[in-house]
Structure 1
Amino acid sequence: MSATGNYAQVNGLNMYYETHGEGRPLILIHGGLMSGEAFGATITALAEKRQVILPDLQGHGRTGDIDRPIDPDLMCDDIAALIDHLGLDRPDLIGYSLGGAVALRTAIKYPEKVGKLVSASANIRRDATYPDMLVQQSQVNAAAAEFMKDTPMYELYARVAPRPEDFPQLLQKLGDLMAKDFDLTEEVRGLQVPTLVMAADADMQPPSHYVEVFKLLDGGLRDGGWMGEGRPKGGHALAIVPGTTHYNLADSPLFTIISLGFLDEPAA
């Protein structure tokens, strides 16, 4: 898999990104404690049809941290700045987990910069997450770094991060983020970008939460009709991916097939 790696100066970040393939631009945004390369074979599959731009988010992968919280409300500004830096004309966005939250907020805040959106495994309310998962998330902090030294996430971080010693700081910032309450119901209701809401059938939140998000987008409220006339007015869609979890959704071949099927569908 050949790739071109570069850095862009955006909002005080020295943001690393790679470019794979050719075609209509697509920005693919990774999850927390990951980096762009963690998408693995999914990058290759998407790059067969698209130019895939793969940023490493603040404090992740080859992008060093800066003195601000890790927060999707701020990180969406980085994606918008990267779009401007690269001179892209309304690229599509695919975001997974933390990346899904960043992509969703980018589409909410900068609809004029985005073509279509795939928001995968990105809940819109903190309280939609299973209670036992919220307990686990509350244990993520700087002190947990020592216990994660044998995990693939730490191995990746230690191999590519500009300052591997920042790992405890990354965990602390992610823990702070996960402890923060949020509710994007009204923002999602006003979303102007055609959006595919995607989740695993065994995700961190129940499938019913993602159905709820789809309903906010005028979906699941009526029969779609023989000619699709009853589908959501904004071109939105829903996919619950069978046989997957939060942790392997983006590795599934269905992730690519469903995403490209939605993104490449002509506008109604």
Structure 2
Amino acid sequence: MGDYVDIGPVHMWYETRGTGEPLVLLHGGLDTNASWGAQLDPLAAHFRVVAPERRGHGHTPDVEGPLSYRTMTDDLARFVDKAIGAPVHVVGWSDGAIVGVMLALARPDLVRKLVLIGVNVDVAAYVPQFAEVARLPADSPEFHPFRAVYEAVSPDGPEHWPVVFEKVTSMWRAEPQLPLADLGAVRARTLVMVGDDDVISLEHTVAVYRAIPDAELAVIPGASHVAAMEKPDLVNTILLDFLRRDASPTVMPVRRAATTAHA
């Protein structure tokens, strides 16, 4: 079921499915909730899944001015406060994961568990091939699938695609620039997930995992930046295990040994 809520200047569209503890799904850049097609029903069987589309994405109209991760994080905080009114589990992919971790830092009171799929906190984390893609024009064949989805649902009309495209790709070229040390302030139990052939380097992913206290790591084999689409059964199993259960005690902990010793 889809609906709109006004969040400051943003007329934000969101989809809701299921009942139970609220779980917010955050899509990637230049994408829509369609990217969660393989996750919505399995997650909604256990949670109240709430999937907003950010300003200028999907059914949510664009807002005048540039786009930034900080602006989108502020939008999300207002959305959770107004549309949900309670702490939520957050599952973010790509740009949505960046917004998710920034929300966990800015508003720890709103985030219960946090899943970051294909996340980067530094613009230098992209593999060189993606850095080149981010410099392509709006009519490039590489972006045709994103453009088709946008044009099918955007209330701004097909002619607005180049405007949103420039806002998003300009942001990609300049952001994020979040120091790894800042991630030490994340208090939500966190799972970091990545495809083994992602556009985010594995080295950066491991650095993020190590920077977040007691984070857990999942590398999806044979998958790229869209692991949730390519390996949905595996990704959904890992997501539900993490979201539905407390952390399991391990026999020979090393990284989490101090936490285990004081448990």
TM category, shorter: 0.7 to 0.9
Contact 1:117 1:194 survives alignment (8 Å): yes
Aligned-pair identity in percent equals 30
Residues 195-254 of structure 1 show CA distances to partners (whole Å, capped at 9, x for unaligned) of 111111110122222111111124xxxxxxxxxxxxx2xxx2111111210034345222
Q: Note if 1:192 corresponds to 2:187.
A: yes
Aligned to 2:244: 264
Structure 1 distance, partners of 2:121, 2:71, is 16
Q: Note if 1:171 corresponds to 2:165.
A: yes
Amino acid of the structure 2 residue aligned with 1:202: D
Q: 1:9 aligns with which of 6, 11, 32?
A: 6
Aligned to 1:224: none
Contact 1:100 1:122 survives alignment (8 Å): yes
Show the 5 A alignment for 1:238-253. Answer: 238-251=217-230, 252-253=232-233
- The normalised TM-score by structure 1 is 0.86
Show the 5 A alignment for 1:9-158. Answer: 9-139=6-136, 144-148=137-141, 151-158=144-151
Which deviates further from its counterpart, 204-213 or 48-57? Answer: 204-213
Aligned to 1:221: none
Amino acid of the structure 2 residue aligned with 1:260: L
Structure 2 distance, partners of 1:8, 1:200, is 34
Amino acid of the structure 2 residue aligned with 1:256: N
1:39 deviates by: 1.3
1:146 deviates by: 3.0
- The normalised TM-score by structure 2 is 0.87
Contact 1:138 1:178 survives alignment (8 Å): no
Aligned to 1:203: 198
Amino acid of the structure 2 residue aligned with 1:191: V
SS at match of 1:107: helix
Structure 1 residues 237, 250: closer, same or farther in 2, change over 3 A? farther
1:118 deviates by: 0.4
Structure 1 residues 149, 262: closer, same or farther in 2, change over 3 A? closer
Structure 1 distance, partners of 2:109, 2:65, is 26
Structure 1 residues 87, 46: closer, same or farther in 2, change over 3 A? closer
Structure 2 distance, partners of 1:73, 1:150, is 25
Aligned to 1:159: 152
Structure 2 distance, partners of 1:86, 1:156, is 25
Amino acid of the structure 2 residue aligned with 1:249: A
1:148 deviates by: 4.8
Contact 2:116 2:190 survives alignment (8 Å): yes
Amino acid of the structure 1 residue aligned with 2:173: A
Structure 2 distance, partners of 1:13, 1:208, is 36
1:138 deviates by: 2.2
Residues 43-100 of structure 1 show CA distances to partners (whole Å, capped at 9, x for unaligned) of 1111111111010111000000001322211101111111111243211000001111
SS at match of 2:223: strand
Structure 1 distance, partners of 2:110, 2:69, is 17
Structure 2 distance, partners of 1:117, 1:88, is 18
Contact 1:199 1:240 survives alignment (8 Å): yes
Aligned length in residues: 245
